[in-house]
Structure 1
Amino acid sequence: MSQATNTPTALVLGLTGAIGGAIAKALARRGFVIRALTRRPPGQRPLLDFPVEWREGDARDAASVLAAAEGASLIIHGVNPPGYARWREEALPMLANTIAAAKAAGATIVFPGNVYVYSSASPARVSETSPRQPTTRKGQVRLEMEEMLEQAARDHGVRVIAVRAGDFFGPGVGNSWFAQALAKGGRAATSLQRLARPGAGHAWAFVPDLAETFARLVDIRAELPNYTMLNFAGHYDATGHDMTEAVRRALGRPDLPVKPFPWIVLWLAAPFVRFMREAIEMRWLWTKSLALDNSPLVGLLGAEPHTPLDDAVGAALG
């Protein structure tokens, strides 16, 4: 609790990222004081539509996280290694810092999960109890992160609220497959790119809906077990082209060309560009169907926050 105002404080690691900022906004609407750890000097910090208590520091530095977490009742772990690289070298230590700070402060960890813990051998519809057998480097790191959180909850009483979701899209979400590939150029796009193999279903997460889901779980956190992992269904593109058709409708351009994504370019560049190698590793998510069963989440909340697809796509396009 904040010592000055006796209002709850949420420390956000990764406030300038897509999900960290969205969760912070949802919590600010509920009266939380938002505190953020940043390496940016004051003149380079973003102007947001809610107050932020900035703390200088780095999520990779244990002492910085521990100091920033003092008095916080929530720690939102929305930070990832930059450049889609150095997952093992940076993601695991950063989460260890968050766990240590949460243990010291008595704070609940809010953790956005993803589907990297699955593989091409996973069933087409996964639940929270489906086997986690990743076959990629990033998937193995994400599995180890989930296991770290499970152990912290089991052995040290650290409370964790985690939600798995598909690919992010939404307003201001620029570093995403939606913005950088499928609808590159936004409303000025001259063509769209089809990422998924025809017939391969793909899970998408509209970030404002996912953030509201986290906030509603925070509202009932006293009723949840120490470790809570839930699936967020989001928008499931069952055919592999539902999303491109939604973009066409949002733009009012039903004849906008849709071209196959040039995966060959990534393959050719992979030996020289690490980002390309990392992206190719997750191509399986575009060649097989993977949907998220959200039955337990709906059982807790009554319904999953869900913006209609055309409205969500319109907002994502700006």
Structure 2
Amino acid sequence: MSRIALFGAAGVIGQSIAAALRSHGRAYRAVGRNEASLREAFGADPLAEIVTWNPDSPASVRAAADGVDTLIYMVGVDYWQFELHPKLMRQTLDGAVAAGVRQLILIGTVYPYGRVASNPVRESHPREPHTFKGRMRKAQEDLLMQAHADGRIRATVLRLPDFYGPGVEASLLHRAAQAAVHGGTADMVGPIDRPHEFVFVPDVGPVVARLADTPAAFGKIWHLGGAGTTTQRDLVAEMERQTGAKLRLRVAGKTMLRLIGLFNPFMREMVEMHYLMTEPLILDDSALRGLIGPIHKTPYAQGIRQTLAAVPRNRARAAVTA
């Protein structure tokens, strides 16, 4: 089997892909900036090779990619530093090409689309981002796909919607899951009654592993949608049904985000992307299913059950790990 490297491995998507590879006995390289985080996530897996890198060092990038056939790119940046996305992609591409990497898969977002004309959104929909973050993500994609067009590397992008699942803290549903288990008030970003979709993180890994082994996937962009259209309100109701307790909600709209953002840089940056809460963007992934066949999508009720089961029951432990 080809050798696979997960760049940005310690995040939840990286761990999902690693689990999919592990289930088939496939060795992989887990690459990240922080060795402690990598060892916590992958240290017990004999199939994992742990490698740290410095994306600002060409030699470090080449060393991290050396001997790799497929590079899966999930490198994150702080939400207020999206200007780094194109820079990091360019540096990684240069190092990967120099190291002889044959193909690269970027795990992308819906940000490059901007406001959409209609739903569901197919891959052919124009990319017309009206936000800074959308423009930076589009620039990242453009760098990669131009490298493919130039014959430097085989490339593809898999776009995902918002995600949720066990241990996923960077989720719109995280605070609601905590409140469902521990009580208290669930802080959410609203409105929470608009159509939305969420992909269950453990469902992503098997799809990415199949893409890596599908030659026809490269040179194109693909969508992976969630288990249907829902709303945050519906998923809160499912949490209430499963726990038997009514959740108290504190919903922040755009104005409240602006106020909170005076003291919290993450919330300040969320204001720009708030349109995704008011203007639905639902992905059509029929092309992906046509490419790789049926895709398992965990029903929301089952995904919520697994998400709640993973919330630490001890409040002190929850505070430490948050």
* TM superposition score category, shorter chain reference: 0.7 to 0.9
SS at match of 1:292: coil
Determine whether 1:211 maps to 2:202: no
Q: Which residue of 1 aligns with 2:19?
A: 25
Pairwise CA distance, 1:295: 0.9
Q: Render the CA deviation track for 1:173-201: whole Å, top value 9, x for unaligned.
A: 1222221x443445214344553436521
Q: Which residue of 1 aligns with 2:10?
A: 16
Q: Measure, in 2, the Cα distance between the counterparts of 1:290 and 1:242.
A: 17
Q: Counterparts of 1:140-289 in structure 2 under 5 Å? A: 140-179=135-174, 181-185=175-179, 187-193=181-187, 195-197=189-191, 199-219=193-213, 221-222=214-215, 224-253=216-245, 255-261=246-252, 263-289=254-280
Q: Measure, in 2, the Cα distance between the counterparts of 1:43 and 1:243.
A: 30
SS at match of 1:55: strand
**What letter matches 2:236 in structure 1?**
T
**What letter matches 1:53 in structure 2?**
E
Q: Measure, in 2, the Cα distance between the counterparts of 1:158 and 1:99.
A: 8
Determine whether 1:311 maps to 2:302: yes
Q: Measure, in 1, the Cα distance between the counterparts of 2:16 and 2:208.
A: 10
Determine whether 1:131 maps to 2:126: yes
Q: Measure, in 2, the Cα distance between the counterparts of 1:103 and 1:155.
A: 12
Kept after mapping to 2: 8 A contact 1:196/1:241: no
**What letter matches 1:246 in structure 2?**
E
Q: Measure, in 2, the Cα distance between the counterparts of 1:33 and 1:297.
A: 25
Q: Which runs of 5+ in 2 are unaligned?
A: 311-322
Q: Measure, in 2, the Cα distance between the counterparts of 1:206 and 1:63.
A: 36
CA 21–240 in structure 1, closer or farther in 2 if over 3 Å, else same: closer
Pairwise CA distance, 1:259: 4.1
Q: So what's the TM-score if we normalise by structure 1?
A: 0.87
Kept after mapping to 1: 8 A contact 2:227/2:300: yes
Kept after mapping to 1: 8 A contact 2:156/2:217: no
Pairwise CA distance, 1:168: 1.5
Q: Measure, in 2, the Cα distance between the counterparts of 1:216 and 1:41.
A: 28
Pairwise CA distance, 1:47: 4.4
Kept after mapping to 2: 8 A contact 1:109/1:161: yes
Q: Which moved more, 1:35-44 or 1:120-129?
A: 35-44
Pairwise CA distance, 1:119: 2.4
1:112 aligned to which of 107, 111, 118: 107
Pairwise CA distance, 1:263: 4.5
Determine whether 1:92 maps to 2:83: no
Pairwise CA distance, 1:157: 4.3
SS at match of 1:235: coil
Pairwise CA distance, 1:232: 1.0
SS at match of 1:202: coil
Pairwise CA distance, 1:272: 4.7
Identity of aligned residues (%): 30
Q: So what's the TM-score if we normalise by structure 2?
A: 0.86
Structure 1 stretches (4+) deviating beyond 6 angstroms? none
**What letter matches 1:94 in structure 2?**
L
Kept after mapping to 2: 8 A contact 1:85/1:275: yes
